[in-house]
Amino acid sequence: MIKCILYAVLLTGAPVLAAGQEKKDSIALNKKRNVARIQYGIASYYHNKFEGRKTANGEIFTQKGMTAASNTHPLNCWVRVTNSRNKKSVIVRITDRMHPKNTRLIDLSRTAAAKLGYTGRGLTRVKVEYLGRQKPAIASEEEGNK
């Protein structure tokens, strides 16, 4: 029996859990691992069907917020997203996770996507800069200028 389990683990790569261990979320970040300061990839924005749903950090999602979903950044951290086409940038807070098979780097709220100027295209190439867990002063200033 044990040989069968070990063989299955070798074939599938699935971890074997000891008694009392819990399976961790496959997209949760290891707290000891550093987040890359700058990443490049594809951004999209949330579909309207997610309006009013609970996000991974427990908040209710709204398209009007300056928030995003990412599988590579920790929840409740701040990032600057820059559109590679027009060089416009926004600062958003990571509040949600994407589907584990999603290959995009980040999904933004519609308001953030509109400020970056790509809602008509649906997708765009972006640069994402990790800013940390504390709200950047520039993000506070942008909120005051609304």
Domain at 53, CATH number: 2.40.40.10
The confidence score (pLDDT) of residue 49 equals 72
3-state secondary structure of 73: coil
What are the pLDDT digits (tens) for 26-41?
334 444 456 678 999 9
The count of structural domains within the chain is: 1
Is the model more confident about 113 or about 51? 113
Establish if 111 belongs to a structural domain.
yes
140 pLDDT band, cuts 50/70/90, is low
Establish if 41 belongs to a structural domain.
yes
Establish if 27 belongs to a structural domain.
no
d(CA 91, CA 36): 17
Residue 117: C-alpha distances to residues 11, 24, 88, 101, 103 (Å):
46, 37, 8, 26, 21
Establish if 6 belongs to a structural domain.
no
Establish if 31 belongs to a structural domain.
no
Establish if 53 belongs to a structural domain.
yes
20 pLDDT band, cuts 50/70/90, is very low
Is the model more confident about 40 or about 99? 40
Structure tokens at 91: 């600062």
The confidence score (pLDDT) of residue 121 equals 83
Which residue in the block uniquely carries the two structure tokens 């920790």?
74
d(CA 48, CA 77): 23
134 pLDDT band, cuts 50/70/90, is confident
pTM over 0.85: no
Which residue in the block uniquely carries the two structure tokens 């709200």?
135
Which residue in the block uniquely carries the two structure tokens 């594809």?
42
Range of the domain at 78: 36-144
Is the model more confident about 48 or about 12? 48
Provide DSSP, 12-62: H-PPPPPTT--PPPTTPPPTTSPPPSEEEEEEEE--GGGTT-B-TTSPBP-
Establish if 14 belongs to a structural domain.
no
Calculate mean pLDDT across residues 2-9: 40
Establish if 140 belongs to a structural domain.
yes
Beta strand pairing status for 67-69 and 89-96?
parallel
